[in-house]
């Protein structure tokens, strides 16, 4: 919980830097996260304690240069490395994206279902329902889940809409047992 609070503070600082130096922090962090996730070696260098802060900064500097990351973001990540808080980068990125989405007037979430993919019609219906409930346009990604027999479970931030057969059967079972 403490890490989450610290990440929120850093995220606010990163967003302030983006505003001050006129660059899209969220987009740069998304790109950086994608690059880190693609390389186990890079992830190990940045997040394992076996490498010195200087080694981490050198490797990150090379990556930042190749990615054309802004100087302000590069300095901010180097600060995290120096303070031995680079492990917070994924949480900070997530918080930056959430705040940025709110500023842009939409929310991110996931739809889970049993099928390989969701039909466009079903997805649009779910997005319309969520938008009507929350007042902001959701951007929903679909994930297949083997824990769902039929139906969908939608999660957008703290809200969860569970329209699965499993949930309905559990509620029916509980109502029978409570009588």
Domain CATH for 79: 1.10.520.20
Domain limits at 167? 105-178
22 plus 78 within the same structural domain? yes
Same-domain check for residues 111 and 97: no
| 120 shares a domain with 96 | no
Q: Are 54 and 71 contained in the same domain?
A: yes
Dig out the tokens for 23 from the structure: 């660059």
My answer on whether 10 and 90 are in the same domain is yes
Determine contact, residues 134/142, Cβ cutoff 8 Å: no
63/122 same-domain check: no
Average confidence (pLDDT) per 10 residues, the chain, 179 residues:
80 85 86 87 83 87 88 88 86 84 76 81 82 78 80 78 77 78
Q: What is the pLDDT of residue 1?
A: 59
> Is there a single domain that holds both residue 72 and residue 113?
no
Same domain, 97 and 14: yes
For position 179, what pLDDT does the model report?
Answer: 66
Cβ neighbours around 136 below 10 Å, total: 16
* Domain-terminating residue out of 56, 79, 101: 101
Kindly state whether residues 7 and 82 are assigned to the same domain.
yes
> Measured between alpha carbons, how far is 122 from 166 in angstroms, rounded to an integer?
19
Final residue of a domain: which of 101, 127, 153?
101
Task: Tell me which residue has tokens 């994924």.
Answer: 90
Whether residue 75 sits in one domain with residue 22: yes
Residues 113, 25, single domain; the answer is no
Q: Judge whether 42 and 63 are in contact, CB under 8 Å.
A: yes
Distance from C-alpha of 29 to C-alpha of 67, rounded to nearest angstrom? 11
pTM of structure = 0.63
Could you please report the per-residue DSSP string of 137-163?
EEEEEEEE-TT-SSEEEEEETTEEEEE
pLDDT at 151: 79
Strands 137-144 and 106-113: parallel
Q: Final residue of a domain: which of 51, 72, 101?
A: 101
Q: How many domains does the chain have?
A: 2
């Amino acid at each position: 919980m403490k890490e989450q609070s610290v990440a929120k503070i850093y995220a606010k600082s990163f967003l302030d830097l983006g505003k001050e130096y006129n660059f899209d922090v969220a987009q740069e962090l998304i790109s950086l996260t994608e690059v880190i996730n693609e390389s186990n070696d890079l992830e190990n260098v940045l997040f394992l304690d076996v490498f010195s802060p200087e080694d981490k900064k050198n490797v990150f500097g090379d990556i930042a240069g190749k990615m054309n990351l802004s100087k302000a973001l590069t300095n901010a990540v180097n600060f995290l490395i120096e303070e031995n808080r680079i492990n917070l980068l994924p949480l900070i990125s997530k918080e930056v994206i959430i705040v940025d989405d709110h500023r842009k007037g939409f929310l991110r979430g996931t739809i889970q279902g049993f099928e390989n993919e969701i039909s466009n019609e079903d997805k649009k219906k779910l997005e319309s329902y969520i938008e009507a409930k929350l007042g902001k346009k959701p951007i929903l990604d679909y994930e297949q889940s083997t824990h769902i027999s039929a139906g969908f479970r939608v999660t957008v931030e703290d809200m969860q809409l569970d329209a699965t057969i499993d949930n309905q059967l559990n509620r029916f079972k509980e109502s029978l047992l409570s009588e």
